[in-house]
Amino acid sequence: MNGKFITFEGSEGSGKSTQAALALEYLKSKKLPTLLLREPGGVKISENIRKLLLDVNNTGMGDECETLLYMAARAQMVKEVLEPQLRSSKIILCDRFLDSTIAYQGYGNGIDIKTIEQLGLFATKGLVPDLTVLFDIPPEKGLGRASQKKDRIESRSLEYHKRVRNGYLDLSKQYPARIKVIKVDASVEEIFKRVKVHIDAVLDL
Ligand code: TMP
């Protein structure tokens, strides 16, 4: 792959989407060919799957179905844009990727992590981010900042969201070269300065 792949991860209300948008603006200002995607979503079929996943009326969705739907959305996004765009030397920024499934469905719901990794390999064709920026915020704080109208995942218990956060922190210890943790304890601008250090390093800017 000739391009670079950077993901933004974190629990609810961590501000990662705002930071991803700032990163896009920054790289565009440098005239670098950059695309911003989100998961689940990024392409039409995956955005449709997103609606199913986040719909609060889907109360009966099993953990297995949920895991497979996140993977299905990912597989389509990878095939339709991520892989071809990386091949044509683009910089891809993605708001969430496979680490989200490990944190939310693995640590959160208790789905076997090895199974998620195997499904992940299938869905992503083995594509791994060059850099993952993980925005860390205590869930008590983050859930307060998240949108008023909670979706199917946001509505889960504080205990669930604590497991998700711990999952992310475990992942950052397993992959310290790839996953950089940024504490959400400063202004948006201040936090972006920290993000920029990692982006500049991975892109040799
Ligand atoms: P967003 O709010 O960051 O757009 O993400 C949508 C929701 O989906 C969020 O609550 C996290 C959740 N999610 C998972 O549970 N597993 C996944 O694999 C992904 C990508 C997101």
191 contacts: CB under 8 Å, gap ≥ 6: 15, 19, 135, 182, 184
Give residue 40's pLDDT band: very low, low, confident or very high (50, 70, 90). Answer: very high
Give the separation between CA 152 and CA 197, rounded to whole angstroms: 34
Average pLDDT score over residue span 179-201? 98
Please give the pLDDT value at position 199: 98
pTM exceeds 0.95: yes
Give the model confidence (pLDDT) of 113-147 as tens digits. 999 999 999 999 999 999 999 999 999 999 887 67
- Phi then psi for residue 18, to 5 deg, are -60, -45
Q: Is the pLDDT of residue 156 over 90?
A: yes
Q: Is the CB of 46 under 6 A from ligand 1?
A: no
Average pLDDT score over residue span 151-160? 94
Atom of ligand 1 nearest to the CA of 96: 20
Residue located nearest, by CA, to atom 21 of ligand 1: 100
Q: Is the CB of 85 under 6 A from ligand 1?
A: no
Please give the pLDDT value at position 74: 98
89 contacts: CB under 8 Å, gap ≥ 6: 2, 3, 33
User: Given ligand 1 and candidates 47, 153, 164, which is best to mutate, with the most ligand atoms within 8 Å of its CB?
Assistant: 153
Please give the pLDDT value at position 144: 83
